[in-house]
Structure 1
């Protein structure tokens, strides 16, 4: 990798890990983080967790793992162009969804409702719990023992959690901070009122770019919309018109791929140009300057941001809330809520989970149950549901 910019994160200047490790002769600290994430159990489970469309549908829809890999590729491309540390951007991208529940955002909503009396459920905080507490592969410690920079990126890639006065900020303004942050072991204060590194900001916007493009692809595969339906939609419309004009007679799947790859390319190029200008204008000269900049520096241009917002509104109305999607969504929410209620009443979870659940009550038991249910894959959750209730949702 070529030399990075002065405001990029430097693995040699990392704030370190909770547990000391010897130096590696072949990998820097952020590369080691990336490798630990890839080899984790939670990462493998992403293969069997829903992105938008449940796996029973077939048709090669994205799952959490394929989405994560797409985010990782986009993040590396943007980081490279901006002179940032590609390895840290990749590590944050690969870990950003490790805290997701089965059945995608439907499962998260259900678990958040179930945990309402116990501080709620947040997938970014859950991802931190996964990499610091719940992974149990190593002989000498729990968790993956990631660097502070990777932990910061997992928690704060979408921005600060509190403002300078300590009040919950952004998405946490209404309901307050999720519970559990105070028990997560970290090597140093995660500084909830500051922005994360540019590498983490890159991972966040790569997430947006990836799911905008692949949700269009998956929606077309599901035949919920046609390409022509996007002609009047900002961001996608001009590209669809361009592809249909140039390739009117090729198969729809080829047309769709042309649209998808051009959308990704133009979004990435917009982010690179916009962010480079914002970084230069901000005058940041170090990663600490980035954290204290008081603003997100990796962004879309105003015109692209407005178009992207309208595209999301279209997808929400025509795809995410389509009756063929909402039926399985509501059923999967019921599965998660009923599993949670059962294990709270009777913590007959397997092995150490069950022992921990039986020895705890109240909020402590709720957090154990939430950890267990959140870690389930879609098939595991359905099998558990069938075993406990002698029923299995069809989702058709």
Structure 2
């Protein structure tokens, strides 16, 4: 017997904790739409994100290594899928709304520029004093305005709770009703879980990719405080094979971080007397952090992030790739300023409303690494080969 909307809602609520976000209260869509007969609101949001152009382009956007460096390193799409998987796991254990967590995770990097954080730095510099650029704000801009899949409205017309989850606390967002709600209500626990899952994912997997690439040395990793935990969790048989060690380390530290976070959240829910979505909002307003590692693990995690920053993200080889990416964006931006006819008409028609600089920024931010390099060549801009 098939389940209708009411049966699906009832089935969902059997598994939801009282502090989770129910699909009965997903937050309003900006443009009114009839409910779907057999997909709940966050499932519809998830599907809209997966079918978007911005999501497809994540496949050729840099995580740490540009696509030309190898086929087995993470890119922005594989990272996003890993964040979604971890977010769903944590949400399931804690009785949160898995559909909402997965949806926020799938959307969280839609606004990321090509060439990873180097690309963001370049666009941020180019847009200084002109509205700025920050990838979280751009992700919100993508789903609210830039995607054009529906003739009835701009963007994807996502639920309010999905949009609130995409927004980052403290971001310089434009004044709006959504911003007022975000400041008052704060993020859901599902959104907080996604934020932490993002950090967990890139820390574990950047460590793994760094070791596999040879840019990180196992001897240096062994100096980290978290190494003892990892060593105890690793089977002794793998220590004779370098490749097995690097691949196992990512898996083991991922499990350690997720397990610690789940236990810590469970403790904090009891400690802060969290029973409803309103309790979550009150804790947020009073700066009580529910979603965080245990006190001891926080120090080890900070050390790991610092290690990756100093030894991988600032490695000369990564810096070389980053500088190439930044220079590519600088050259493209300057070219489009003086040759606006090279910008697609779908972007150009917004110039009168938003200005040429914002239009150029949107166009470049949406590019993949591969397309940006190809555009550079196609426009005849002299630059070094990749």
Instruction: Output the TM-score relative to the length of structure 2.
Output: 0.91
Tell me the CA shift for residue 246 of structure 1. 4.1
Tell me the CA shift for residue 356 of structure 1. 3.2
Unaligned runs of 5+ in 2: 1-11
Match of 1:85 in 2: 97
Match of 2:245 in 1: 255
Q: For 1:320 and 1:15, how far apart are their aligned partners in 2? A: 38
Tell me the CA shift for residue 234 of structure 1. 2.4
User: After superposition, where does 1:84-163 map in structure 2 within 5 Å?
Assistant: 84-156=96-168, 160-161=169-170
Match of 2:276 among 279, 286, 291: 286
User: After superposition, where does 1:141-290 map in structure 2 within 5 Å?
Assistant: 141-156=153-168, 160-161=169-170, 177=172, 181-182=174-175, 189-192=180-183, 194-240=185-231, 243=234, 245-249=236-240, 251-290=241-280
Q: Quick check: 186-195 or 75-84, which moved more?
A: 186-195
Match of 1:384 in 2: 375
CA contact (8 A) 1:103 1:378 kept: yes
- Superposed CA RMSD in Å reads 1.9
The answer on 1:4 being equivalent to 2:16 is yes
Tell me the CA shift for residue 241 of structure 1. 6.5
Tell me the CA shift for residue 339 of structure 1. 1.5
Say which structure is richer in helix.
2
Q: For 2:356 and 2:103, how far apart are their aligned partners in 1? A: 31
CA contact (8 A) 1:84 1:198 kept: yes
The answer on 1:301 being equivalent to 2:294 is yes
Tell me the CA shift for residue 364 of structure 1. 2.2
Q: For 1:189 and 1:74, how far apart are their aligned partners in 2? A: 29
1:325–1:22 distance in 2 versus 1, CA, 3 Å: same
How many residue pairs end up in the alignment?
370
CA contact (8 A) 1:59 1:221 kept: no
Match of 2:344 among 339, 347, 350: 350
1:236–1:386 distance in 2 versus 1, CA, 3 Å: farther
Alignment partner of 1:192: what SS? helix
Instruction: Output the TM-score relative to the length of structure 1.
Output: 0.88
Alignment partner of 1:292: what SS? helix
Q: For 1:343 and 1:387, how far apart are their aligned partners in 2? A: 13
